Structure 1
Amino acid sequence: MARTVDQRIPRARSLRRNPTDAERKLWQRLRRPGFAGAHFRRQATIGPYYADFACHSLRLVIEIDGGQHDGSTSDVVRTKYLNAAGYRVLRFWNNDVLQNIDGVLQTIVDALPAATPTPDPSP
């Protein structure tokens, strides 16, 4: 019997191979072992969406947005979907990551304790 192939995987791989400058800069910091006790994945598939960075165990998604996202209604829909799936979403502008990486990292670290995983099975 043939295995069903997840059609999202090739797109996720393509996105990982071609990151924006801001995504590349943030990934260099998030991928370090033990970054605040969290394990992030790049271009992680969650439902029909690709999260720029996701920590599944802590249910945290980080999105890095360029100017084309300003006032985007599709981002509102995406965030609602991710929230309904139990994820907290942090959004940063590209220029914030490129010009203030330490501030962005501090915001992420500050958000991690609030995103503590629920026990499995939850009570």
Structure 2
Amino acid sequence: MRLEGSLQSHSNAKHLRKQMTPPEIALWLALRANDEGLRFRKQHAAGPYVLDYYCAPARLAVEVDGEAHNHGNRPERDATRDAWLVAQNIRVLRYPAREMLANLDDVIRQITSVALQRRTIIES
């Protein structure tokens, strides 16, 4: 099952690709250089949403949460979004933006491990 985005989410994704934050850029560069041959898409449109990173063979979304994700209605919006993704058989990993700068190697190891495990399960 292919994960498609709406016209609005495609437009938002295109805009967001041009506006990536330093933690998002650091993660993107590390994901592109992984030694496992995993391919990720950045700012991928998915239904009405935009995923920061998406590994299609593993059905894995990776989100970098800046400080704004802790305020206002963002926690509820993120929970609704994550529930929609889970209903699409997408696993979501969320990391605080500060984690990208402090522990990028550990984050990459965890993402790679989860992606490889999910890819194996999905391919079976």
Normalising by the smaller structure, the TM-score range is 0.7 to 0.9
> After the TM superposition, which parts of structure 1 deviate over 4 Å for at least 4 consecutive aligned residues?
none
State the alpha-carbon separation in 2 of the partners of residues 104 and 118 from structure 1: 22
Which whole-Å deviations, capped at 9, do the CAs of 1:39-59 have from their partners, x for residues lacking one? 100010111110000011110
CA drift of 1:88 comes to 0.4
State the alpha-carbon separation in 1 of the partners of residues 116 and 101 from structure 2: 25
CA drift of 1:70 comes to 2.1
TM-score normalised to structure 2 length: 0.84
Task: Give the direction of change, closer, same or farther, for the CA distance of 1:25–1:10 in structure 2 (3 Å limit).
Answer: same
**Match status 1:63 vs 2:63:** yes
State the alpha-carbon separation in 2 of the partners of residues 86 and 39 from structure 1: 18
Work out which of the two has the higher radius of gyration on C-alpha atoms and give 1 or 2: 1
State the alpha-carbon separation in 2 of the partners of residues 35 and 91 from structure 1: 22
**Identity between Structure 1 and Structure 2 (%):** 34
TM-score normalised to structure 1 length: 0.84
**Match status 1:77 vs 2:72:** no
Letter in 2 for 1:118: I
Do 2:55 and 2:115's aligned partners in 1 also have CA atoms closer than 8 Å?
Answer: no
- Structure 1, unpaired ranges of 5+: none
CA RMSD in angstroms comes to: 1.9
Which whole-Å deviations, capped at 9, do the CAs of 1:88-112 have from their partners, x for residues lacking one? 0000000000111011111112212
Larger relative helix fraction: 2
Q: In the alignment, what sits opposite 2:122? A: 118
State the alpha-carbon separation in 2 of the partners of residues 78 and 17 from structure 1: 22
Aligned counterpart for 1:105 among listed residues 97, 103, 108: 108
CA drift of 1:35 comes to 4.1
- Structure 2, unpaired ranges of 5+: 1-5
Written as runs of structure 1 = structure 2, the 5 A alignment for 1:1-123 is 6-32=7-33, 35-70=35-70, 72-116=75-119, 118-119=122-123
State the alpha-carbon separation in 2 of the partners of residues 54 and 89 from structure 1: 9
CA drift of 1:21 comes to 0.8
